Structures are given as structure tokens and as C-alpha cells.
Amino acid sequence: MAKVLKKKKYNEVRGYGALTVVGFIFLLVYSLSLFVPALWSFMTTFKTEEDLYYNVFGLPEVWTFENYITAFSKMYVSVNPTGVKPYKMYLDEMILNSVLYAVGCTLANVFTAAITAYGCARFKSKVGSWLHASVILVMIIPIIGSGPSEMQFVRALGFRNHIWGMVLMKANYLGTDFLIYYAAFKGISKDYSDAASIDGAGNFTIMMNVIFPLIGATIATMSLLAFIGFWNDSNTPLLYLPDRPTLALGLYKFNQRTDNNLVNIPMRLTGCFIMFAPILAIFIAFRKRFMLNVNIGGLKG
């Protein structure tokens, strides 16, 4: 009997080992399928168009930053504002627009959702229940054909072609972020709030100095995801910021052009990596913070 159990256990270990190896190979191949094209694209940014034509998959014959220099000096999109003479907007201006748009919309969206979720989770009231229900309702009911009415709304309020107007539009709690924050706040013991309240802290102080630091990893992760979404967003600027193009919109328009010799594969990939660089830098700098899965308790300040 002991030999049978030992043999069965040995077979289970062998089977688990084989499954692990197969899974590892599958994930390795999948990872390479994502990494290799990205590596090829990055190397291509250091090639000339002629070098790419004769040397598609090899290393650049001469490593040069000419594409990046050319991108900042000659890559532009034409802007045609109403009642004003058309002008050219270059890469540095589009990057500034992207920073203002992405950072502003991220801060507005994250803090609006977090503050609303905190109020609904920590205070029992009918208003909180209605707000929570409205999020669920908006998520399950498809809103079709709202684009024209939204455009009229934006024009009536004077938000069009103003980045601050888009920031105000994104300051809402209707989304998955609200539910994530709501669940995180519900999982925090009220003992922290009670202890701070006994020490004389008000509701705002408790929220900012006690509760928010406890879900700092969640807020940081959601902020990164929101920033990536706004940084890569080209649809909203296309509709509402035609005179203030962001980098994403500028690259989209640049790729549609066929009127100059800058529209080639190395230059297009160079623009893509210029756009990708801030996201990569942020992730590398804060990767440990974003990967944190353990909530650390304690009071701040």
C-alpha cells in the first residue's frame, strides 16, 4: 500500500512538473512574441530609410540619432483654427499639450472618483446609495448616439479647444475606478478613523492623512492606468481639441500624410517611441509601488 501511494505521489509530481514546463515554454514564446517586435521597432528608429530597405532585420549599419533630431525639428501638423491664419504645430508643442491634458485629466478623474467613493463607503446615506447605484446603472445601460448631444454640450459651455474644459469633463466618478476605490475603502477598518477622530482630526484630515495613504498602492496603480489612457487618447482631442493637438493626435495626423519624405517607417516608429518613452520611464521609476499588493496599516502625520 505504501509503495502504491508513493508511486502515485511520484506520478503526480512528474505530471505537475511537465505541466509547469509546458506552461513556462508557452509563456516564454508569448513573451518573445511581444518583446521581439518591440526590440525590432526600437532598433529601426536608429536606421535610415535606405538602411531599413537593405537591412530589415539586422542591426543598424550606423547607429544615429538623426531620426530623433529630425522629429523634433521637422515633424509637425497643420492647425486650421476658425478665423485665424493656419499655422504649423511642432512636436515640442504637442508634447506640452499631451502633458497638460494627461496630467490634468488624470488628477481630476482619480481624485473625483476616490473622494466620491470614500464618501459613499464611509458614510451611510441615501445620497451615497444613489451615487453607487448610478455608477452601476451607467455601466450596464448602453448609451448609444450620445456623441452629437455631447458635442453640443461642450460647445455651449465653451469647453471646445480648451484643455481645462476637457479636464472638467473628466472630473467624474462614473466608471470602474469608483468601484475599485469603493471596495478598497470598505476593506479598511473604522478603527483608524475613530482613533484619528479622538485625536481631533476632521473628516477631510482623516481622509487625506489616514485613509488615502492606506490605499496608496491602489491609487498609484489607478493613476498610472488613467495616465496611460489619457496619454494615448487621440479620439477626444480629435473631436474637442482640434486646435490644441496632443502628441497622440499629432502622430495620427502625421501618419495620414503623404506629402513629404518624412513619412517613412523609421520616422513613424521614432514618433511612436517618443510617445512611449514617458510611460516607460514612469513605470520603471515606480514599478515597486505599482506592484505592491499588500496594504500597510498605520497613521500618517
Report which of residues 3 and 35 the model is more confident about.
35
pLDDT at residue 97 in the model: 93
251-269 pLDDT per residue, tens: 888 877 766 667 788 888 8
- pLDDT category, 71, cuts 50, 70, 90? confident
In this model, does residue 184 exceed pLDDT 80?
A: yes
What DSSP element (H or E) covers 87? Answer: strand 87-90
Predicted TM-score (pTM) of this structure: 0.81
Q: Where are the domains of the chain?
A: 2-44, 66-290
Q: Which CATH superfamily is domain 66-290 in?
A: MetI-like (1.10.3720.10)
| Lowest-confidence pick of 33-37, 126-130, 144-148, 189-193 | 144-148
Res 299: pLDDT: 44
DSSP per residue, 144-194: -S-HHHHHHHHHHHT-TT-HHHHHHHH----SHHHHHHHHHHHTS-THHHH
Mean pLDDT, the chain, rounded, equals 83
The closest of 122, 101, 114 to 220, measured between CA atoms, is 114
Is residue 224 within 8 Å of residue 286, measured between CB atoms?
yes
Range of lowest pLDDT (18-22, 113-117, 173-177, 253-257): 253-257
**71: nearest Cα among 264, 299, 207, 300:** 264
Cα–Cα distance between 154 and 12 in angstroms, integer?
63
